[in-house]
């Protein structure tokens, strides 16, 4: 079954009510008017007939000739609504007639007359035309005339009734006038009903359209289109108008809330993404650190095993070979001794490096003259250099103050020169130079007052791809076999020491030409530390 809208329902309702009412009122008024009209015609005909009888009784009784009777009847017939007139004598013989209808038949009794001398009946002629017929007796007495008059007519006195008159009223004519009136009424009622239905349609639509639109808008909102609004009926000053305005306010609020929520949500999502990324990075870093640690451990164990292998092998050989040549035995014991030193150096270097890297080593940072440190290094390394025929040249003429830990700086310079001595062939040269620099170095380029130390040799050089790796722990380059005496940590430690001083260390090398190592140290204490230093030196003073 098709769904009926509210508009249709309301229109049907009002239409049926109005039509029912209209029909009832119309029917009632028509029947009332019909009755009134009926009464009016009946009474008029009765009055006219009575008047006629009263005026003409004497003449009828006295003359009684047909011509006079016809004339008198014709007079009555002239009156409004009267269709025919018939006069009958007391014996029922027709005395006169005007416009007589043929074959009249009685249908039924009609309204009561005003007294027993008059009565109505309804008749029909041969053609089927209907008439109301009034029958009134014509008599000398009882007509309101002077009773003396009756005595004037002798014969009439014995028989006071002369006859009767029948007057026909055309039922069709009567009906026509009633019908015309009825039609007018019906048309009027119909026009009024149509007008009323039209108005009800207009008002209902005005009321229902906004509601229908709201229904549609609510559907859209439910589907997520929160920008949907109702633009009909929002100017109405009734409950529907209130509803529309409140609905629109609600939709606006919903839209704002959703926008806020979306914003919050996107921010939250962004935040979650960031955090997740951070966590992933941290996790990755931890994994890398873990991997580095395990790599480092396996490298350390490898590095420790190497001298240990020699120690064990030669010790067992010595134990198992009672007849070994004393010279060979001594050589083996020397190897054991050297490898033991190597191992202990490795261990102390490892601990040293670990301390610097973890920040637990202590530093004695002071202003000192770099010349003195260089002099000490020269004294220590001169014998081994001389042994290999390597010339050491230190180009240091004037005092060079720097800010740092003198023991650690000495360690760095010793490492660099000792490396040169170790890797350079017989007869090479190693030179050390100092100069001022305005930046920390090529990598970080921190501006400031620095002293740059250069250690240059004319040895075999380092391959370009190894340039950076030499500062890694345990990195020992493409060596020629005989130089595995170090721990492999010297340059790594040197780098950590220089970094601790906020300096930089780097190298420049051409295979076959030579290698230059550079590192920088601050010439002065950093500004933040200066006050402290001054204060402490004053205390000491």
Partner 1 sequence: MPKKVLVCDDEPYILESVGHVVREEGYDVLTTDNGEEALRLARLESPDVIILDISMPQKDGNAVCRELKSSAATRGVYIIVLTARGQEGDMRESYQCGADEYMTKPFSPRSLRKRIHELLD
Cβ-based nearer residue to partner 1, 15 or 315: 315
DSSP 457: E
Q: Which stretch binds partner 1 (CB under 8 A): 110-118, 360-368, 447-455, 474-482?
A: 474-482
Instruction: Establish if 316 lies at the interface with partner 1 (CB under 8 A).
Output: yes
Residue 336 Cβ, how far from partner 1 at the closest point, in Å? 9
Whole-number Å distance between alpha carbons of 507 and 513: 14
Query: Cβ distance 134 to 114 under 8 Å?
Result: no
Binding pattern for the stretch 341-380 against partner 1, x by CB under 8 A and - elsewhere: ----------------------------------------
Residue among 252, 230, 254, 253 nearest 242 (CA): 230
Binding pattern for the stretch 210-239 against partner 1, x by CB under 8 A and - elsewhere: ------------------------------
Query: Residues 484 to 503: which contact partner 1 by CB under 8 A?
Result: 484
- Strand, coil or helix: what is 131? strand
Residue 529 Cβ, how far from partner 1 at the closest point, in Å? 44
Q: 6: which 2 tokens? A: 């509210």
- Strand, coil or helix: what is 83? strand
Q: Which stretch binds partner 1 (CB under 8 A): 57-65, 269-277, 294-302, 407-415?
A: 294-302
Residue 335 Cβ, how far from partner 1 at the closest point, in Å? 5
Q: 92: which 2 tokens? A: 């029922």
Binding pattern for the stretch 415-434 against partner 1, x by CB under 8 A and - elsewhere: --------------------
Query: Cβ distance 201 to 5 under 8 Å?
Result: no
C-alpha distances in Å from residue 90, one per residue of 39, 57, 103, 213, 324 = 29, 14, 21, 86, 196
Instruction: Establish if 256 lies at the interface with partner 1 (CB under 8 A).
Output: no
Neighbours of 439 (CB within 10 A): 16
Residue 350 Cβ, how far from partner 1 at the closest point, in Å? 16
Instruction: Establish if 469 lies at the interface with partner 1 (CB under 8 A).
Output: no
Interface residue with partner 1, options 43, 126, 273, 312 (CB under 8 A): 312
Query: Cβ distance 460 to 422 under 8 Å?
Result: no
Q: Which stretch binds partner 1 (CB under 8 A): 132-140, 305-313, 345-353, 403-411?
A: 305-313
Residue with tokens 């010790």: 315
Q: 370: which 2 tokens? A: 């770099």
Whole-number Å distance between alpha carbons of 48 and 79: 8
Q: Which stretch binds partner 1 (CB under 8 A): 194-202, 307-315, 355-363, 372-380?
A: 307-315
Residue 283 Cβ, how far from partner 1 at the closest point, in Å? 24
Interface residue with partner 1, options 479, 532, 536, 537 (CB under 8 A): 479
CA 201 to chain centre: 38
**Concatenated DSSP letters of 236-251:** -SSHHHHHHHHHHHHH
Instruction: Establish if 308 lies at the interface with partner 1 (CB under 8 A).
Output: yes
Residue 290 Cβ, how far from partner 1 at the closest point, in Å? 16
DSSP 405: -
Burial class (CB in 10 A: 0-12, 13-18, 19+), 419: buried
Q: Which stretch binds partner 1 (CB under 8 A): 85-93, 253-261, 313-321, 425-433?
A: 313-321
Instruction: Establish if 165 lies at the interface with partner 1 (CB under 8 A).
Output: no
The Cα angle at residue 513 between residues 507 and 516, in degrees rounded to 5 = 20
Length of the chain, please?
Answer: 541
Instruction: Give the ranges where 442-526 is alpha helix by DSSP (H).
Output: 490-500
Residue 470 Cβ, how far from partner 1 at the closest point, in Å? 14
CA 41 to chain centre: 82
Interface residue with partner 1, options 246, 257, 301, 344 (CB under 8 A): 301
Residue 352 Cβ, how far from partner 1 at the closest point, in Å? 23
Cβ-based nearer residue to partner 1, 302 or 388: 302
**Concatenated DSSP letters of 94-113:** EEEEESPPSS-EEEEEEEE-
Cβ-based nearer residue to partner 1, 476 or 516: 476
Interface residue with partner 1, options 97, 306, 361, 439 (CB under 8 A): 306
Whole-number Å distance between alpha carbons of 308 and 319: 16
Whole-number Å distance between alpha carbons of 424 and 132: 160
Residue among 53, 138, 143 nearest 89 (CA): 138
Instruction: Establish if 317 lies at the interface with partner 1 (CB under 8 A).
Output: yes
DSSP 3: P
Query: Cβ distance 169 to 41 under 8 Å?
Result: yes
Residue 316 Cβ, how far from partner 1 at the closest point, in Å? 5
Residue among 409, 408, 376, 412 nearest 394 (CA): 376
Query: Cβ distance 7 to 205 under 8 Å?
Result: yes
Residue 302 Cβ, how far from partner 1 at the closest point, in Å? 5
Interface residue with partner 1, options 92, 103, 481, 512 (CB under 8 A): 481
Interface residue with partner 1, options 216, 273, 302, 436 (CB under 8 A): 302
Interface residue with partner 1, options 478, 512, 528, 540 (CB under 8 A): 478
Interface residue with partner 1, options 120, 247, 314, 471 (CB under 8 A): 314
Instruction: Establish if 320 lies at the interface with partner 1 (CB under 8 A).
Output: yes
Instruction: Establish if 194 lies at the interface with partner 1 (CB under 8 A).
Output: no
Whole-number Å distance between alpha carbons of 366 and 373: 13
Query: Residues 322 to 341: which contact partner 1 by CB under 8 A?
Result: 335, 339
Cβ-based nearer residue to partner 1, 303 or 504: 303
Residues that bind partner 1 (CB under 8 A): 298, 301-302, 305-306, 308-314, 316-317, 320-321, 335, 339, 476-479, 481-482, 484
């Amino acid at each position: 079954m098709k769904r009926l809208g509210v508009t249709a329902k309301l229109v049907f309702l009002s239409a049926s009510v109005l039509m029912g009412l209209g029909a009832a009122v119309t029917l009632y008024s028509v029947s009332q008017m019909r009755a009134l009209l009926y009464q009016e015609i009946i009474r008029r005909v009765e009055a006219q007939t009575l008047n006629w009888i009263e005026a003409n009784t004497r003449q009828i009784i006295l003359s009684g000739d047909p011509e006079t009777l016809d004339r008198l009847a014709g007079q009555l017939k002239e009156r409004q609504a009267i269709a025919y007139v018939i006069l009958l004598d007391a014996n029922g013989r027709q005395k006169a007639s005007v416009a007589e209808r043929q074959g009249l038949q009685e249908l039924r009794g009609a309204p009561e007359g005003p007294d027993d001398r008059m009565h109505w009946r309804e008749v029909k002629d041969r053609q089927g035309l209907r008439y109301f017929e009034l029958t009134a007796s014509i008599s000398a007495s009882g007509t309101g005339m002077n009773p003396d008059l009756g005595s004037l007519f002798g014969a009439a006195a014995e028989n006071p009734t002369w006859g009767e008159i029948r007057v026909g009223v055309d039922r069709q004519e009567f009906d026509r006038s009633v019908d015309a009136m009825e039609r007018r009424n019906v048309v009027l009622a119909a026009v009024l009903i149509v007008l009323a239905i039209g108005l009800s349609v207009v008002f209902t639509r005005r009321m229902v359209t906004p509601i229908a639109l709201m229904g549609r808008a609510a559907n859209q909102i439910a589907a997520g289109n929160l920008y949907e609004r109702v633009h009909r009926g929002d100017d109405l000053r009734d409950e529907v108008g209130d509803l529309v305005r409140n609905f629109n306010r609600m939709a606006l609020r919903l839209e704002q809330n959703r926008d806020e929520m979306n914003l919050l949500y996107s921010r939250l999502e962004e935040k979650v993404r960031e955090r997740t990324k951070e966590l992933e990075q941290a996790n990755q870093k931890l994994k890398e650190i873990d991997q580095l640690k395990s790599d480092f451990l396996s490298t350390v164990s490898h590095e420790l095993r190497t001298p240990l292998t020699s120690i064990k092998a030669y010790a067992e050989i010595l134990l198992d070979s009672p007849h070994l040549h004393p010279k060979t035995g001594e050589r083996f014991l020397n190897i054991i001794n050297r490898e033991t030193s190597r191992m202990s150096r490795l261990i102390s270097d490892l601990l040293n490096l670990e301390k610097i890297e973890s920040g637990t080593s202590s530093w004695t940072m002071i202003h000192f003259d770099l010349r003195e440190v260089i002099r000490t290094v020269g004294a220590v390394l001169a014998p081994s250099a001389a042994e290999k025929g390597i010339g050491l040249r230190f180009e240091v003429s004037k005092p060079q103050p720097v800010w740092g830990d003198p023991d650690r700086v000495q360690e760095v310079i010793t490492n660099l020169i000792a490396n040169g001595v170790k890797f350079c062939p017989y007869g090479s040269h190693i030179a050390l130079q100092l100069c001022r620099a305005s930046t920390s170095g090529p990598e970080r380029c921190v501006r400031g007052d620095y002293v740059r130390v250069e250690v240059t040799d004319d040895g075999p050089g380092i391959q370009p791809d190894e340039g950076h790796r030499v500062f890694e722990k345990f990195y020992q380059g493409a060596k020629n076999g005989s130089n595995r005496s170090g721990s492999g940590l010297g340059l790594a430690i040197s780098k950590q020491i220089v970094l601790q001083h906020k300096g930089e260390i780097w190298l420049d090398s051409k295979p076959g030409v030579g290698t230059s190592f550079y590192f920088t140290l601050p010439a002065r204490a950093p500004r933040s530390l200066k006050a402290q230093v001054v204060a402490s030196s004053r205390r000491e003073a």
